[in-house]
Structure 1
Amino acid sequence: MGKTQMLSGAGQLTAVALLVLFTWINLAGVSRLAQWIDGLTLWKLLVPLLVSITLMLIAGHWSNLSLAMPASGTVVEAIGSGGILFSLLGFRSAMDMAGEVRNPQRNVPLAMAVGLGICLLIYLVLQLSFLVSVPPESLHKGWSQLSLTAHGGPLVALAVGLGLSWVALVLLIDAVVSPSATGMAYLGISARVSWMMGECRLLPGALGRLNSRGVPHWALLSSLIISMLLLWLTPSWQGLVSFLTSTQIIALAMGPVSLLALRRQLPDAERRFQVPCPRMFCSLAFVMATWATSCTGRTALEGAVLVISIPSLMYVLVRSVQGQAMDLKAGLWWGLYLGLLTLDMELFSQGQRWALPTGWHLVLLAGLALAVMPMAVNSALPRASAHALTNLTQPPDPD
C-alpha cells in the first residue's frame, strides 16, 4: 500500500453513501448510536486478538526480533502518516462527553486510562504478531526493504502467504466494520462540538438547535457536508489520516492553555474535575502536542493550519462587519503558534534545507512550545465568559 493509493470514483461514491448512513444513524439519537457502537466495539476488540494469536501460533519466527529496525526518522514519520496517532486519539471521545459524566474526577481519568490501555495493548500484540510472522527469507535485506503487498494490507498478505484464507477474509471484513464505528462516533462528536459552538454564538445560531429527539440535526448535516468535501480533497487514506491527526492535535493544544487561563480567571471556582500540578502537566501536554504535530508531516500540517486559519479570519471579518467588539490581542498567540509550527516544518523538518536530526528537532519544538505557552496564558481575557462561568460553577452531580 503506497502513499499514492487513491479512492476511485466508485470508491468515493461508496464512501459518501456510508457517510449518509452514519448521519442517519446519528439522527436517530444517542441511544440508537450507542447500540450500534457497542456491538462494533466488541468486534474491534476481538478480531485483532484472534488474528494476532493465530499468526503467532502458526508462524512464530521469533528470531525476527533480533534484526535491526528502521531508522528513527522513518518510525517517527509512520507515527503520524501510518495512523498510529490517529488510532490512539480515540481517548478524546471520553473527554468530549465528560460534561455528562457523573463523578468526573474518578470516571473521566478511568475511562481514558482503560480505553487507552486496552487499545495500546491490542496494538502492541498485533504488531508483535506481525513482526514474528514475516518469513525470514523476506528479511534478508532488512526491515527497511520489506515489501508485502495485497488488497487489504500487509497482514492480509501474510495470511494469504500462510494459506490462512479465513484470516484474510476476517481482516477484509474488519477493514470495513472497524472504521464504521469510528466514523459514526466521530460524526456525532463533531456535530456536538459544532452545536456547542452554535450555542456560544461562535458559529451560526442554527447549529445550536436540537430536533425533537434532542439531536443537533443542523450540526450533523453540516458535518456531513464538510466530511464529503474533505473526502473529495484528500481521497488517499494516508493523506486523510495525516490531515485529521494534525487538526486534532492542534485543537488539543488549546486545552492546556485554556485550563491555566481559567485557573487565573476563576481561582476560587468549585470544579467538578481538577488536574493535580496543573502548570507542570499543562506544560508537558503542550510540548507533547507540539511534538505530535511534527509527526504528521509538512503537507498535513500546512493543510491543517490553512483550514483553521481561513474560518478564523472569516469569523473576525463577520464580527467586524456586524460591529461586534472583539479583543483580538487575546488570540494573537494562536496565530504566532501556528506560524512558528509552519515555519519550523518549512525549515527544519526532514527533507528541508536545514533539516535537524530527530532529537534536536524535538528539543527545538519543546523550546518553541515553552516560549509560547506563558504568552498565551498571560494574554487571556481578565474575566471568563458567561458560558465558562456557568459550566465551572454548577454543583457536581451525585455519584
Structure 2
Amino acid sequence: MGRSSLKHELRLIDLVMASLGGIIGSGWLFGALYAANVAGPASILSWVFGGIAVIFIGLIFAELTGMLPESGGVARYPHYSHGHLTSFIMGWAIWIGYAASPAIQAEAMVQYSAHYIPGLFNATTNTIKPPGLLLAAVLMFMFFLINYFGVRSFARVNTPLTLIKFIMPTLTIIVFLATGLHWHNLHVQHFAPYGSAGVLEAIATSGIIFSYLGFRQAVDLAGEAKNPHRDVPRAIMLSIGIGIVLYSLLQVVFIAAVPTADLRQGWAHLAMAAPFAQLAVGLNLGWLAALLYADAIISPTGTGNVYLASTTRVLYAMAENGYLPKVLAKVDPKTGIPVASLILAFLLGLLFLAPFPAWNQLVSVISSATVLTYIMGPVSAAVFRQTAPDAPRFYKVPGLSIVGPVAFVMGSWIIYWTGWNVDWKLLLTMLVGVVLYALFAWLLPEQIERPSWQSVKSGIWLVVYLIAMLAMSYGGSHRFGSPYNHHKGLIHFPYDLIVSALISLAFYYWGVASGYPTSQLTEALEHRA
C-alpha cells in the first residue's frame, strides 16, 4: 500500500489517546512493584527521571515528525539520513522490541491469573512456572488466531479497551488516596535504601522506560494524521506529560499502601503476583481488586493483539524493503494478511518466553531494544539540519546541538543501566542480525537488496557502537556490569557513567558525520511539498 492511499483522519485527541494507550499497558500493573524492589521509595524519582529522559527523546521526534510525518517513522528516518545498512539495524531492533511484546503481555495475564489458578507463578523468585509458560504460549496462540480470523471484529472493541486501560489506574490512585495508607513507608529503611544506582537501574529494568516509550504510537501514525505537522509533536509531549503524572502517583500510592510488616526484609524482598490487586484486598477493597484482576486480563489481551499485528507488519515491511526473503511480503488474497510473516512473528515471539520467564526480565529486553531504535532520532535530526536545512518544520528543537547529544547519552545510559545479563543477549542478537543480513544478501541477491557502498560506510559507526556498548556493559560497575569482572574492579560507579557518556558522545558525533543526503530523503520531501 503506498503512501497516497493512507487516510489522513486522525485528530490530536486520537493521537494522544493512541500514545496513552501505548504508555498505559501492562507496565502499570507491575512497574510500581519492580521499581520499589530495585530503588525502594526513591523509585518515585525513577519515574520522574525516566520521564525527563524520554521527553528529551520525544522532543527530537517532535521535530522529525513535524518535518516528515511518516507511518513507521522510527524505521524510516535512519533510511533517509544514513541509508540501507543503518535502516536495517534499526528495523532489526524494532522487530526485537515488537516480537517480545506479545510474550510480555501473555506473561502479565498469567501472573495475575495465578490468583485463580495456583501453580502458575513462583512469588518467591518472581518467575512463571512451566505450567504458566505453557499457558502463556496458549494465550499467544489465541493472539495469533484473533489476528488471522478476527482483526476487523477486534478493531471494533479496541477503543473501549483503551478507555478501560486509562480509567483503571486513575481509579486506583483516587481510591487508594481516599483510604488510610502507611505514609511512613516513604522513609522506613531510608528513602533511597539502594542508593542512586538503584534509582537509575529501576529506570531501565522495572518497566519505566518500557511504559513511557509507548508515545511512539503517535510517531507510527503520523502519516495518517489530519494535521501531522501540528498535532503529532503536541501529542508526543502531552502523552509523556500525562504519563509522568499518572505513573508517579501510582508509585506513591503503591509505596504507601504496602503493609509495613511486609518490609521487614527490605523492599528488595517484597514479592507479589498481582501487586495492586493484592494491596486492594489488604485495604478491604474487594470490589476494586475484582476490577483489577479483570483489567489484568482485558488490557494485556488488547496490547498483545496489537503488537503481534505490529510485528507481522514490521516483518512484512522489512521484506518489502529488501531486508528479508520476499515470501514474508506475500499477502493472502483471502484474508488480506501476510500469513508467512504472521506465523513467523508468532513463532519468534514464543522464543522469548523460555529465556525470560518473568515480566520484569522480559521488560528489560524490550526497553533496551526500543531505546536503541530511538537514540537514532537525535543523530538523524542533526543530519537533516545539514542535508535539508530549508525543509519546513512545524516544530524545531531549540538548541539541538545540546539536546541531541544529551538525548543520545541518556539513551545509551538506559541501555547500560539494563545490565550485562540482558545487554549481552540483546547486543549480540543485533550483531548476529547484521551478519545474517550480509549472508542473505550474498546468498539471495535476487530477493535481498544489497546496500550501496555509501550506505555501508555510513552504517559502520553504528556497528562499532554496538560492539562498544557490549564492551562497556561487560566492564561496567558492580551494579550494571558482568558478574565475571567484579573481582577486577573495572570502572566503579559513578565513574562508569562518565566513561559511558564520553563514549556515547564520540559515537553521536561520528554518527552525525556519517550521514549524507540520500535520494530517499529528497523524494520524501518532494512528496510532502
TM-score range, shorter chain: 0.7 to 0.9
Cα distance in 1 for residues equivalent to 2:505 and 2:197: 24
1:393 aligns with 2:526: yes
Partner of 2:504: 369
Per the alignment, do residues 137 and 225 of structure 1 end up closer, same or farther by CA in structure 2, a change over 3 Å counting? closer
Cα distance in 1 for residues equivalent to 2:510 and 2:150: 42
The residue type paired with residue 232 of structure 2 is V
Does the 8 Å contact 2:328/2:338 carry over to 1? yes
1:230 aligns with 2:363: no
Per the alignment, do residues 271 and 343 of structure 1 end up closer, same or farther by CA in structure 2, a change over 3 Å counting? same
Cα distance in 2 for residues equivalent to 1:51 and 1:2: 23
Per the alignment, do residues 134 and 6 of structure 1 end up closer, same or farther by CA in structure 2, a change over 3 Å counting? closer
Per the alignment, do residues 145 and 225 of structure 1 end up closer, same or farther by CA in structure 2, a change over 3 Å counting? closer
For residue 41 of structure 1, give the secondary structure of its aligned residue in structure 2: helix
Partner of 1:330: 458
Out of 316, 336, 339, the residue aligned to residue 467 of structure 2 is 339
Cα distance in 1 for residues equivalent to 2:160 and 2:372: 31
Which 10-residue stretch deviates more, 156-165 or 272-281?
272-281
1:65 aligns with 2:186: yes
Could you tell me how far 1:156 is from its partner in structure 2?
3.6
1:48 aligns with 2:130: no
Cα distance in 2 for residues equivalent to 1:286 and 1:12: 36
Does the 8 Å contact 1:77/1:295 carry over to 2? yes
Partner of 1:166: 287
The residue type paired with residue 384 of structure 1 is T
Partner of 1:38: 159
**TM-score (norm: length of structure 1):** 0.86
Which 10-residue stretch deviates more, 38-47 or 180-189?
180-189
For residue 151 of structure 1, give the secondary structure of its aligned residue in structure 2: coil
The residue type paired with residue 57 of structure 1 is A
Per the alignment, do residues 371 and 150 of structure 1 end up closer, same or farther by CA in structure 2, a change over 3 Å counting? closer
Cα distance in 2 for residues equivalent to 1:146 and 1:276: 41
Does the 8 Å contact 2:308/2:345 carry over to 1? yes
Cα distance in 2 for residues equivalent to 1:54 and 1:362: 40
Partner of 1:378: 513
Which 10-residue stretch deviates more, 361-370 or 309-318?
361-370
Within-5 A mapping of 1:89-104: 89-104=213-228
Cα distance in 2 for residues equivalent to 1:303 and 1:130: 32
Cα distance in 1 for residues equivalent to 2:229 and 2:326: 32
Partner of 2:435: 313
The residue type paired with residue 518 of structure 2 is A
The residue type paired with residue 423 of structure 2 is L
Does the 8 Å contact 1:258/1:377 carry over to 2? yes
- Provide structure 2 residue ranges, at least 5 long, that are not aligned to the other structure: 1-121, 480-485
Query: Residue by residue, what CA displacement relative to the aligned partner does 1:139-166 show, whole Å, maximum 9, x if unpaired?
Result: 577xx4575444323x344333333333
Which 10-residue stretch deviates more, 314-323 or 304-313?
314-323
Per the alignment, do residues 28 and 377 of structure 1 end up closer, same or farther by CA in structure 2, a change over 3 Å counting? farther
Per the alignment, do residues 176 and 80 of structure 1 end up closer, same or farther by CA in structure 2, a change over 3 Å counting? farther
Which 10-residue stretch deviates more, 277-286 or 243-252?
277-286
Partner of 1:185: 306
Could you tell me how far 1:201 is from its partner in structure 2?
1.0
Which 10-residue stretch deviates more, 54-63 or 1-10?
1-10
Does the 8 Å contact 2:202/2:208 carry over to 1? yes
Partner of 1:239: 361
Out of 227, 234, 241, the residue aligned to residue 110 of structure 1 is 234
Does the 8 Å contact 2:263/2:270 carry over to 1? no
The residue type paired with residue 224 of structure 1 is F
Partner of 2:62: none
Does the 8 Å contact 1:3/1:238 carry over to 2? no
Partner of 1:151: 273
Which 10-residue stretch deviates more, 63-72 or 306-315?
63-72
1:194 aligns with 2:315: yes
Cα distance in 2 for residues equivalent to 1:391 and 1:217: 30
The residue type paired with residue 192 of structure 1 is R
Cα distance in 1 for residues equivalent to 2:394 and 2:134: 45
The residue type paired with residue 18 of structure 1 is L
Out of 405, 416, 420, the residue aligned to residue 294 of structure 1 is 416
Cα distance in 2 for residues equivalent to 1:334 and 1:3: 40
Per the alignment, do residues 237 and 120 of structure 1 end up closer, same or farther by CA in structure 2, a change over 3 Å counting? same
Out of 249, 261, 266, the residue aligned to residue 383 of structure 2 is 261
Does the 8 Å contact 2:280/2:286 carry over to 1? yes
Query: Residue by residue, what CA displacement relative to the aligned partner does 1:6-28 show, whole Å, maximum 9, x if unpaired?
Result: 33333223222322332344446
Which 10-residue stretch deviates more, 333-342 or 126-135?
126-135
The residue type paired with residue 290 of structure 1 is S
**Aligned-pair Cα RMSD in Å:** 2.9
Cα distance in 2 for residues equivalent to 1:53 and 1:273: 36
For residue 40 of structure 1, give the secondary structure of its aligned residue in structure 2: helix
- Provide structure 1 residue ranges, at least 5 long, that are not aligned to the other structure: none
Does the 8 Å contact 1:56/1:132 carry over to 2? no
Per the alignment, do residues 112 and 21 of structure 1 end up closer, same or farther by CA in structure 2, a change over 3 Å counting? farther
For residue 42 of structure 1, give the secondary structure of its aligned residue in structure 2: helix
The residue type paired with residue 23 of structure 1 is F
Which 10-residue stretch deviates more, 241-250 or 186-195?
186-195
Does the 8 Å contact 1:210/1:216 carry over to 2? yes
Query: Residue by residue, what CA displacement relative to the aligned partner does 1:355-388 show, whole Å, maximum 9, x if unpaired?
Result: 55554333222211111112112223x44144x4
Per the alignment, do residues 52 and 269 of structure 1 end up closer, same or farther by CA in structure 2, a change over 3 Å counting? closer
Could you tell me how far 1:284 is from its partner in structure 2?
2.4
Cα distance in 1 for residues equivalent to 2:239 and 2:185: 30
Cα distance in 2 for residues equivalent to 1:349 and 1:192: 39
Could you tell me how far 1:319 is from its partner in structure 2?
1.8
The residue type paired with residue 228 of structure 1 is L
Does the 8 Å contact 1:269/1:393 carry over to 2? no
Could you tell me how far 1:66 is from its partner in structure 2?
4.5
Does the 8 Å contact 2:233/2:395 carry over to 1? no
Cα distance in 2 for residues equivalent to 1:129 and 1:244: 26
Which 10-residue stretch deviates more, 196-205 or 263-272?
263-272
Partner of 2:133: 12
Query: Residue by residue, what CA displacement relative to the aligned partner does 1:210-269 show, whole Å, maximum 9, x if unpaired?
Result: 455765444333222211122233222222111111111112222222333344444455
Could you tell me how far 1:133 is from its partner in structure 2?
2.0
The residue type paired with residue 507 of structure 2 is V
Count of paired positions: 391
The residue type paired with residue 496 of structure 2 is H
Query: Residue by residue, what CA displacement relative to the aligned partner does 1:267-296 show, whole Å, maximum 9, x if unpaired?
Result: 455567765554433222211211111221
